[in-house]
Amino acid sequence: MYEGKIVFAQLMEHLPLHTLRRCIERFGGDRSVKGFSCQDQFRCMAFAQLTYRDSLRDTVTCLNAQSAKLYHMGIRSDVRRSTFSDANEKRDWRLYQAFAQALIVQARRLYASEPLGVELDSAAYALDTTTIDLCLSLFPWAPFQATKAAIKLHTMLDLRGNIPLLVHIDDGKSYDTDILDVLTPEPGAIYIMDRGYLDFVRLHRLTEAGAFFVVRAWRKHGLRRLASRPVDRATGLVCDQIVRLAWRASAKKYPDRLRRIRCTDPKTAKTLVFLTNNFTLPACVVADLYRCRWQIELFFKWIKQNLRIKSFFGLSENAVKTQIWIAVAVYVLIAIIKKRLALTASLYTILQLLSVTVFEKIQLDQLLAQSHPASSQSTLDNQLNLFDD
């Protein structure tokens, strides 16, 4: 019988704790702290994410019910609700952002060779925004409408492995295009966006940086055709054209040529129009890349259903951002473990198993290898196998 570490402790061993300590030191997280360190706070919040706790009181009650195992979880101090709440309210959320970004770097290395589903050698990123509704009277720092509050998660997803490369948290009044102001364009990479990102000034910055974009176009944009390329209409393609912006104001914002690709979705018979600054990729590949953008929609659906980012443990901006960044860190940690242990189960299955076994003494690889992905394949395909065409 296995008499080693409990499952939660084995999970934490996959974290680069030396990096967490550096982040804590960098932002002074443990300055003037006598008990309940930042590491304790992270572990308690990670426990809440892994076990689907809905509130601070719920988390503290469950942890104290297993008080004899807190030391084995790596929690070195008593867990009190007031202390836990103060930590979320006052300790700089940026240290958890920095730690999550360090985990993202590790995950991207592990998933660098993952198939994209499209014949493409360069990196491909999907950009989108999701809104989380809040109560205006409780979260007045996040105004959205006259009687509502909300925050927006502007996200850039690496399509190789579904790793969130960039997350920008802002209030509900921010624009989707704000993420284009904070990202650093990667030369040669392709950024895939919906119509909400059709801002020619910002798109021209990507072009000047040597990056490419694929964005869905509005029908009303004035475009002047310069040349046409032959297309195979049997594949659903309607046209492949070289164009310029016809309106003088738009042409000043984006003076270079663009490529317009029009295609018809064979399932819905809906006609889609894309604009891109990439003139070398086949038109069918450009259309397939836009279909891959659905990955980020399912990423938002997954984290909202399986992580605690819709009900918050604190009311301040610092507490909300702390919870979101720790949730991102837990998501990336599960992805890292899945790759390191060569697991065939989905992230959903892994999280479900961990949620009921965190206090058990069983080897982590044996526990997760016991899952039966085939039995839940239909459910998981809808969530994580994002585009099957």
**121 band by pLDDT with thresholds 50, 70 and 90:** confident
DSSP 48-111: HHHTT--SHHHHHHHHHHTGGGTGGGT--S---HHHHHHHHHHS-THHHHHHHHHHHHHHHHHT
Q: How confident is the model at residue 49 (pLDDT cuts 50, 70, 90)?
A: very high
pLDDT at 292 over 70: yes
Claim: this prediction has a pTM higher than 0.85:
yes
Q: Provide mean pLDDT across the span 153-177.
A: 91
- Per-residue pLDDT band for 376 (boundaries 50, 70, 90) equals very low
% of the chain beyond a pLDDT of 70: 94
Interaxial angle between packed helices 347-355 and 294-306, expressed in degrees from 0 to 180 and rounded to the nearest 10: 10
Nearest of 139, 84, 99 to residue 325 by alpha carbon: 99
Band of the pLDDT at 379, cuts 50, 70, 90? very low
* Buried residues in 115-129 as b, exposed as e (16+ CB within 10 A): ebbbebeebbbbbbb
* Long-range CB contacts for residues 229-234, cutoff 8 Å, separation at least 24: 229/283, 231/283, 232/284
pLDDT over 60 (residue 226): yes
Q: What tokens appear for 61 in the block? A: 């009650």
For residue 384, name the pLDDT band (cuts at 50, 70, 90).
very low
Is 245 within 8 Å of 223 (Cβ atoms)? yes
74 CB-contact burial (10 Å; exposed 0-12 / middle 13-18 / buried 19+): middle
Q: Using the predicted structure, report yes or no on whether residue 371 has a pLDDT greater than 50.
A: yes
Q: What's the CA dihedral at 92, 93, 97, 99 to 10 degrees?
A: 60
Provide the residue type at 174 as one letter: S
Position 244 scores a pLDDT of 92
Radius of gyration for the chain, computed over Cα atoms and rounded to the nearest angstrom: 23
How do strand 223-229 and strand 237-245 relate by DSSP bridges? antiparallel
Q: Which pLDDT score is estimated for 372?
A: 53
On whether the CB atoms of residues 311 and 54 are closer than 8 A, the answer is yes
Residue 304 has pLDDT above 80, yes or no: yes
Which run of H or of E encompasses 292? helix 283-292
Of the listed ranges 95-109, 222-236, 261-275, 371-385, the least confidently predicted one is: 371-385
Q: How many CB atoms lie within 10 A of CB 150?
A: 20
